[in-house]
Amino acid sequence: MSRHAGWVAALIAVIVLAGCGSGTGPRSGSSRSFGIRVVAGGGQEDTISTLLTQALVVQIAPSPIASIAHQVVQFQSVMADSAGTGNAFVASLASQGFSSFAVDTTNASGQASIQILFGLQSGRAKIQVAVPEFGYVDTVTFVILPGRATGVVAAPKDTALYAGKSGTLHSSAVDRAGNPRPGDPVTYTVTSGPVTAAGPKVTATALGLASVLARSDGFSDSTVISVVPTGTLAATSDSGGVVMFNIDGSGFVALTRVAATDVKWAPSGTSVVFVCPEGNAGVMPLCTSDLKGNVLVLDVSDTTADAWPFFSRDGTWIYYSRITDARGILDRIHPDGTGADTVHTTNPGDDYWESPSPDGDSVAYVDLNSGNLRILTLATGTVTDLGIPAHSPQWSPHSDLIAYLASDGGAGPIAVVHATGAGQHTIGINTNQYDFDIDWSPDGQWVVGRNATTTLLELVNVTSGLVLPLGYTGALGSPTWQPTSGDGGSAVALRRSLRAAPAKTR
């Protein structure tokens, strides 16, 4: 095995030159792989970034077309396109300029030679050899091995499990280029939290945050495991549409591809409501979708935007803010698109985030003029200003507790307060900042939101303040917890069918 430190610079040149090559190929028609024979240097194996001491030498067979002497032989790297395939680069014997393409001319005996430099990706690497004049084409394979271990990569880096369930870790020792070394033993140790480890198999024993340390050859890395409550979430995808998935990361499906913001479940758990921006500037109607992806547009206006929809607890109304003349107006509409109506209030403002109480008598919302959390009594239209700066209020499904973002604008920590204004306090980690749109678990024990810094969805326990990040959710926002899922109910089956064209109603 040979090491040539000087060829590191050559490797850099390889990357620059990898796209360069000749446009000349073998003659059209059937190629004849039997016309090329490897004399020396084929099938070699060595570690990444190694310059092979044995050149690749090939011999071409006689042809009635022309002499085998002084024929151009092309050597072309077959570049890696997937895991398990490596890169090897070529240069003439008189050159140190390695690239993906090189040529040599046969000697009087019909032989041609080329230097081989292994790249930084381990796996099987291939060099295509062609003699354009004769139509000969063949491929020579090499094996690129990982370099010496320089670290450990934990895989997955973070994951989620339900209590009582098990999962398998796939951590591996790696070389300086990140290639795994599958033959190196890895040991696993639980450093904290409610999990046990038997080799790579980990089992969750209770709700909480755990850490497992993977070690190999003096190196280590950690996997973080969130042991989460059972349930199903829906969320908007940063790439567009609404998705739904189980909290442990399983069952992930796209519910609809329609552009969406501000998604919320219906109490039945069989549909969602969201804002669906249309092509017309400023027109953002409400949409609903069932679990088969059938989208219904609640086309309440052709000129205004709607925002922050919430279902009433009995499912008969969708409360939302109708934005007109740069002002939010409290409105509601039936889920079938009928009965659009402005909610009566004796003290209107710039009003957003209507969240109905569990008994249906009141609505929590925010007036942006004051920035304060308010309580509206629906029967009389009277308004109580709690004097608390807030955004995204969300009424608990089983009490008078209201969760909200403790902010006078933009992201903020999650806080809770009673509808009377008493007992105001933040939950979770005070320094954590969350984006608009939070939601409660069906049992009222957890609030889910999107961490504005990490972009991950997080579950925050209202009583203990425990924070459980969902490491697979970096591209999701506006989370909402399916009311019929989790320990208090059976999850609705996930469906995969989608409908491309939404229907409109008035």
C-alpha 399 chain-centroid distance: 35
CB distance 295 to 281 below 8 Å:
no
Three-class SS of residue 2? coil
Residue 285: predicted pLDDT: 87
**Quick check: helix, strand or coil at residue 94?**
coil
Q: In this structure, what token pair is assigned to residue 307? A: 């925002």
- Write out pLDDT tens, residues 373-414: 999 999 999 999 999 999 999 999 988 999 999 998 889 999
What would the pLDDT profile of 67-124 be if each residue is shown by its tens digit?
A: 999 999 999 999 866 666 778 999 999 988 999 999 999 999 999 999 999 999 999 9
pLDDT of residue 304: 76
In the chain the first and final C-alpha atoms are separated, in Å, by 76
The pLDDT of residue 359 is above 70: yes
Q: pLDDT above 70 covers what percent of the chain?
A: 86
Q: Residue 505: pLDDT above 80?
A: no
5: Cβ–Cβ under 8 A, 6 or more apart, which residues?
Answer: none
Q: What are phi and psi of 250, to 5 degrees?
A: -85, 170
pLDDT tens digit sequence for 222-251: 999 999 999 999 999 988 899 999 999 999
Please determine, for residue 141, whether its predicted confidence score (pLDDT) is greater than 60.
yes
Residue 169 pLDDT level (bands cut at 50, 70, 90): very high
Q: Are 210 and 224 in contact (CB under 8 A)?
A: yes
26-40, 189-203, 223-237: least confident range? 26-40
Integer angstrom CA distances of residue 484 from 101, 110, 451, 491: 61, 76, 25, 6
What is the pTM for the complete model shown? Answer: 0.81
The whole-chain average pLDDT of the chain stands at 88
pLDDT at 5 exceeding the cut of 70: no
Identify the structural domains of the chain with CATH numbers, from first to last. Answer: 7-145 (2.60.40.10), 157-228 (2.60.40.1080), 232-505 (2.120.10.30)
Query: And the tokens for 227?
Result: 């042991």
Highest mean pLDDT among 323-332, 337-346, 495-504: 337-346
* Residue 282: predicted pLDDT: 59
What pLDDT is recorded for position 12?
Answer: 35
Categorize the per-residue pLDDT at 190 as very low, low, confident or very high, splitting at 50, 70 and 90.
very high
Higher pLDDT, 416 or 277: 416
Other CB atoms within 10 A of residue 202 CB:
23
| DSSP code, position 51 | B
Identify the pLDDT of residue 4. Answer: 41
What's the confidence (pLDDT) of residue 324?
84
Q: Average pLDDT in the 405-434 region?
A: 94
